[in-house]
Amino acid sequence: MLRELKNKVFVIYLILSAFLVILPLFHILFSVFANGIPVLLKYGLAFLTETLPAPNRGGGIFPAIYGTFMMVFLASLMGIPLAVLAGIFVAEYPNNALSRATRSLLLIMLEFPTILVGLFVMAILVMPIGSFSALAGAFALMIVMLPYVATYTEQAMRSVPAQYKEGAYALGLRKVRVVFSITLKIAKKGVITGLLIGMAKVSGETAPLIFTAGNAWRSTGGVLEPVGAIPLWIYYLVQQPYTNYHEIAWGAALVLMLFFLAVFLPIRLSMVRT
């Protein structure tokens, strides 16, 4: 009797713990959708194609969407190859001194304050150039992205059973061929998960962009010019006293959420089925 009671109490505790864990997530999703959908319905397609309006007028967030996509694309273009290679190196040479140092540094960078990354890039890139720019923002986002992609790549590579690699070596394949043609293909689910998490992480970053990208409210600048970003707009707009700016901030939050869900969920679901 007492054993059954303990078991039931433990099960209830697990259920309550799981509920408390997911409750904040559902609260965030509900708040963003509940406040963002009326904004999109109110402003219509113009919300995605026009620029920031004057106070108490209608408008859109196109410059922020443009800047976010540009910087995430540039950060991915620069960071993903480097991060994947770093993860492969750490996984394939675990006893190497450089590998151990790299792994420790990656773990530190996972928890490193991103605002310090922005200050670092400002010192080495923004100040020498003399201007905020999309390139500086992308470089900061690349640094933030690196540890996530590299760590997930390492873990995915380590999870591949040794028999596959041993069989490949027995057939006379070289290490480069084994790593990229066999091990990496088997570990692709974990690697892709890391890529998605890295992209999702940087697409919502604000602190590094304050010191690197600057901001652009009504223009879509080039790579070497200041650009807007959805997280930056949300950060600045909620501080304004105008009602329409608060509405635009909620709408921008919904757009950012939809962008993340549209990229992350289909790929994750497809990987689960395969």
Give the model confidence (pLDDT) of 230-272 as tens digits. 999 998 988 888 888 898 999 999 998 888 887 777 666 666 6
Q: Compute the radius of gyration of the chain from its Cα atoms.
A: 22
pTM equals: 0.85
Render the burial of 88-126: b for 16+ CB within 10 Å, e for the rest.
Answer: bbbbbeeeeeebeebbeebeebeeeebeebbbbbbeebb
Which residue type sits at 195?
A: L
For the stretch 62-83, pLDDT in tens is 999 999 999 999 999 999 999 9
Domain ranges of the chain: 64-244
Share of the chain above pLDDT 90, in %: 21
What integer pLDDT is reported at residue 1 of this predicted model? Answer: 67
**Residue 5 pLDDT greater than 80, yes or no:** no
* Selection from 109, 89, 108, 107 nearest residue 98 by Cα: 89
What integer pLDDT is reported at residue 74 of this predicted model? Answer: 93
**Residue 274 pLDDT greater than 60, yes or no:** no
Domain 64-244 carries which CATH code?
Answer: 1.10.3720.10
Residue 162 tokens read as 């040794």
For the stretch 112-159, pLDDT in tens is 888 899 999 999 999 998 888 899 999 999 999 999 999 989 888 888
Whether 121 contacts 212, CB under 8 Å:
yes
